[in-house]
Homo-oligomer: A and B are copies of this chain.
């Protein structure tokens, strides 16, 4: 696998172009697999990945406001608004006026929305769980470490500062 060169007492990772290219293609192909299962469910509702992402992060942080979600998703408010509007119309998401600051809208999943989120999670987690099981615990730790190093610093800070804590 990874080629180790010992150079003056220091262990270095020797990365050929071919190895890096394989890493790049692995990301591309794996991401396809990663989204394939939820995509099939979303299709039944006329939703796309944008809806999935919104639902995911609203479920992760109930009551988060629109601006925060905008930052997480890295899209414009116009794009998010289109998605959010359909989710609210469909009774998947509820938008509550803030109590402390009444300009803010706090987003929550409705019962229907939570049910859809559950279906999407089950599908996506199933593939990841299988992949984790087959690859083994050490591989999972490495997977997570590399992905984290690949994030933009701002997003990584958000990612690390999670509510869950475990991992």
Question: Residues on A close to B: CB < 8 A?
Answer: 1-4, 13, 15-34, 36, 53, 56, 60, 74, 121, 124-125, 127-152, 155-156, 159, 162, 164, 166-167
Question: Complex formed: what's the CA distance from A60 to B43 in Å?
Answer: 33
Residues of B within 8 A of A146 (CB): 30, 131-132, 135, 139-140, 142-143
Of B22, B124, B131, B140, the contact of A164 (CB 8 Å cutoff)? B22
Contact call B13/A166, Cβ cutoff below 8 A: no
- Minimal beta-carbon separation of A157 from chain B (angstroms): 11
Contact call B142/A13, Cβ cutoff below 8 A: no
Which applies to chain A's interface (DSSP): helix, strand, loop or mixed?
helix
- Minimal beta-carbon separation of A20 from chain B (angstroms): 4
- Minimal beta-carbon separation of A56 from chain B (angstroms): 8
Question: Complex formed: what's the CA distance from A15 to B29 in Å?
Answer: 24
Contact call B13/A132, Cβ cutoff below 8 A: yes
